[in-house]
Every structure is written in structure tokens, then in C-alpha cells.
Amino acid sequence: MDPLYRIDHHGIARYALRRREGWRLLDGDPFGAHAVGAALDTDRPSLLAPVMPSKIVAVGLNYKDHAAEMNKALPDEPLIFLKPSTAVIGTGAAIVIPSGAGRVDYEAELGVVIGKTARHVAAAHAHEYVLGLTCVNDVTDRDLQRRDVQYTRAKGFDTFAPVGPCVVSGDIDRPLTVESRVNGETRQRSSTRELIFPIRQLVEFVTRVMTLLPGDIISTGTPPGVGPLVAGDQVVVAIEGVGELVNDVVEE
């Protein structure tokens, strides 16, 4: 499938494909029956988050070096938590630092977009339930995370889940480069080959706990190099073969 985008089309959210010959609307449901529709009359549509998940299931401490930089032991099984759908924004939208926030960090992550309802999925069949891959920035108030111990408040603020710019189908077993840049300076750069728990294992683990719905995202964890954001920064999450998720940072 060509890269799948979600765009603002004359005030209505529509799915669209970016093809070599230009942009085309997608008629129907990208998670079901669909067909390629009309050509767009612009080559620069207004991009939205490529999906609106009912939930993002994020994985903590899934790179060995990141666990070390956080002074935490390697987990024996995936450490999962939820980010709310209300935190989701797309590329080009602003990350808003809440009033009174502590240190707010970027975390570049590969997101796995679920393509059909998934429950008790065996790792060997995980690829059958994946629509594609996307970029995620798991924005985190680090001070609140330390204070609360659990992650809900620290990672659940509005705008704390940038996703995008698109969903790209591909081999979930192929290692991909994951990096972040702040104001043009590379801060994180690693590969998904360094994941403690790979995508197939994550799909199996999560779907033993909860049903994943079409459009839900498993965010697979961040590599070492996390750091703070301040108003005026621009942060980019770049994933090989997917694209770049770009967001400016503002104060509330």
C-alpha cells in the first residue's frame, strides 16, 4: 500500500494516499473495503494524525541502553502503559508544555498501527494484524513520572502523543533506524534491532491483556538519548522508511 495519510479536506478529515503521480483520496475504510478515489487539487494537503486510536499502548524500557540511562533494571517482560487518545496530535501541530510542568522530554519511538481487531494473537501471526508503521513521540513530564511512579499523568497531557506523518506498510521484522533531532541536532539514533522485546512479541503480549482495535498503536519504546524540550524548540522523530514527524514546542 502507498503511504497512508489523514488530511483536512475542505474541513473534513479524509484518508489519502501519496503516490508518485500525486495525492489521491481514499474512498472507503482503510481498515476494510476501500478504493483509490479522486486526485487532490493540491500537492501540500494539511496533514492530521494518520489514525485516531482508541488507545496507545506504550512500552517502557524496551532498549537496553535507555534502561541504563534511566538507572533501571532490564524488565523480565514488557512494561506497558496507556496514553489517551486525547493526547494525539499530528505532524505540524504544537506540543504544548502545561503550566507548571517540570522537565518535559521527547522520546522517539516506532509505532505499530493495528489493522484489525486483535485478541490472543500468536507472535507468528502478528504481521496479519498490523496495518503498518508510523512515528511516535512519547512526550513525558519526567518530574511527574518520578513523583507518581506510574506513568498516566506524566505521559497523558493533551498534545503529548504526536503521531505521523503517515502509516507505511512493511516487514515488521526488518530493523529500522529510529532517531530524534531537536533544533536540527541529532539527540537519539538507534535501530529496532536493539529492542529487548521485538514487535511480534509485543503484539502477542499486549493482546493477551486487552483487545486492540483497528487504528490502535503499540509504541515500541525509545532508545537512549532522551532529553528536555522547551518552548521555541522544534523536535523531529525520523524513522527509516516511514518519514519525519515534526512538531514545534510552545508554552500553554
**Per residue in 24-63, pLDDT tens?**
999 999 999 999 999 999 989 999 999 999 999 999 999 9
Number of Cβ within 10 Å of residue 105's Cβ equals: 19
Cell, residue 242:
516511514
Which amino acid is residue 145, in one-letter code?
A: Q
- Render pLDDT for 210-240 as a digit per residue (tens, 0 to 9): 999 999 999 999 999 999 999 999 999 999 9
How is the chain split into domains, by residue range? 4-48, 56-251
Any bridge partners for residue 12, and if so which? 9
CA distances from 95 to 88, 91, 108, 158, 248 (A): 10, 10, 14, 8, 6
Any bridge partners for residue 190, and if so which? 178
- CATH fold of 56-251, please? Fumarylacetoacetate hydrolase; domain 2 (3.90.850)
Whether the model clears a pTM of 0.85, i.e. scores above it, the answer is: yes
234-239, strands of its sheet edge to edge: 95-97, 243-251, 234-239, 177-182, 185-191
Phi, psi of 143 (to 5 degrees): -65, -45
